[in-house]
Amino acid sequence: MSTVSEDAAREPVISLRGVTAELGSRRVLRGVDLAVRRGEVVALLGANGSGKSTAIRTIVGQVPVTGGEIEIFGTPRRRFRDWARVGYVPQRTTAAGGVPATVTEVVSSGRLSRARFGVLRRADRDAVRHALEQVGMADRARDSVEALSGGQHQRVLIARALASVPELLIMDEPMAGVDLASQEVLAATLREQVERGVSVLLVLHELGPLEPLIDRAVVLRDGCVLHDGPPPRAVGQHALPGHDHVHPHADHAEPTRTGLLS
Ligand SMILES: Nc1ncnc2c1ncn2[C@@H]1O[C@H](COP(=O)(O)OP(=O)(O)OP(=O)(O)O)[C@@H](O)[C@H]1O
């Protein structure tokens, strides 16, 4: 007989059933089933254009679904309002977005969902400072985000997601274009979150330094789930057998193809 806490642990914090979505006239998701259970770290993998970002964006409501069901913490997505429980890191954009803002201002925006009446109080400012410490950016708190490197930008976006102390993190390629030092900081940050019991769904091109944290991998191909199970084991430089993701920044864009991800 299972205990109450075991049942709670099995309850999905994200559930997609038969989800379809179209962009333009293209069917980008063609019946995706995906579940992330409490405390799980799930990597969403697949070749370029397989629908990973679209799947993530249907969950946070940026892409409308044309069929199927999405639940967040057991609530149908369209009725879900408790976004302070969810930290979202979009596919890398600059944190500045053309608007001059300091690091603190950007990270504070991630705390507004917890602030009463939209006013940041002392506890909120402490949470913002703590989030910056978690990603090793506390010393840059007053700097303009425009002055940061790509990896530092990414750390700030992750701090913004952590500022509401979420129970669920959804991240779209958190390591893309991030220098090695920042990658290590981000891997350590994520490890702390996982130790706290935070559930994580993240799009990755390669498991890389996050590999030890990943419980399960869901591989998409052409808008369908091709694999849902143990993560592919690391091989050589790229952490995926059949790694066939072409990086825009890769020096040699000639991947090995074994079929799993193509
Ligand atoms: N706004 C859009 N209008 C039409 N088609 C789009 C749009 N955005 C994405 N697509 C197409 O939808 C498909 C899935 O894109 P998506 O970004 O979800 O893939 P992905 O697996 O995240 O790819 P990548 O690894 O390159 O980020 C691609 O073929 C893409 O060209």
pLDDT at 83 (0 to 100): 92
- CB-based burial, 94-107: b 16+ in 10 Å, e otherwise: ebbeeeebbbbbbb
**Pocket flag, ligand 1, residue 223 (CB < 6 Å):** no
Residue 150 lies in a domain: yes
Residue 151 near ligand 1, beta carbon < 6 Å: no
Structural domain that includes position 11:
4-229
pLDDT digits (tens, 9 = 90+) for 120-146: 888 999 999 999 999 999 999 999 998
Return the best residue to mutate from 25, 34, 44, 52 for the ligand 1 pocket (most ligand atoms within 8 A of CB). 52
Q: How far is the CA of 143 from the centre of ligand 1 (A)?
A: 34
pLDDT of residue 5: 58
> Which residue CA neighbors atom 30 of ligand 1 most closely?
49
pLDDT of residue 258: 36
Strand spans (E) along the chain? 12-23, 26-37, 41-46, 67-72, 75-76, 86-89, 168-172, 199-203, 216-221, 224-229
Pairwise CA distance, residues 225 & 1, whole Å: 32
Query: Ligand 1 pocket, 246 CB below 6 A?
Result: no
Whether residue 248 is contained in a domain is answered as no
Atom of ligand 1 nearest to the CA of 55: 18
d(CA 88, CA 233): 27
Q: What is the pLDDT of residue 249?
A: 38
C-alpha 12/C-alpha 72 separation (Å) is 8
Protein residue whose Cα sits closest to atom 13 of ligand 1: 49
Please say whether the beta carbons of 56 and 170 come within 8 A. yes
**Residue 214 counted as domain residue:** yes
pLDDT for the residue 4? 52
Collapsing DSSP to helix, strand or coil, 99 comes out as: coil
Which pLDDT does position 100 carry in this prediction?
76
- For 180, the enclosing helix (H) or strand (E) is helix 180-195
Q: Is residue 58 within 6 Å of ligand 1 at its C-beta?
A: no
pLDDT at 18: 97
> Quick one: pLDDT at residue 236?
43
Instruction: Evaluate whether residue 250 is within a structural domain.
Output: no
What single-letter amino acid sits at 145? Answer: V
Ligand 1 site, residue 57, Cβ cutoff 6 A: no
The model's pLDDT over 157-206, given as tens digits with 9 standing for 90+, comes to: 999 999 999 999 999 999 887 888 888 888 999 999 999 999 999 999 88
Domain membership of residue 247 (yes or no) is no
Q: How many domains does the chain have?
A: 1
- The CATH number of residue 132's host domain is 3.40.50.300
Per the CB < 8 A criterion, the answer to whether 41 and 213 are in contact is yes
DSSP class of residue 97 equals T
Domain presence at residue 255: no
ipTM attached to this prediction:
0.93
**Any domain includes 244:** no
> Does 188 fall in a domain?
yes
Span from the CA of 52 to the centroid of ligand 1 (angstroms): 8
Torsion angles phi and psi, residue 219, rounded to 5: -105, 125
* pLDDT score at 147: 87
Please report the atom of ligand 1 found closest to the CA of residue 51: 18
SS3 annotation, 200-211: EEEECCCCHHHH
Going from the Cα of 90 to the center of ligand 1, the distance in angstroms, rounded, reads 14
- Residue 46 Cβ inside 6 Å of ligand 1? The answer reads yes
| Closest of 50, 54, 55, 47 to residue 261, by C-alpha | 47
Blockwise average pLDDT, block size 10, the chain, 262 residues: 57 96 94 96 94 96 95 95 93 65 93 81 93 94 90 91 95 88 89 94 89 94 95 55 43 39 43
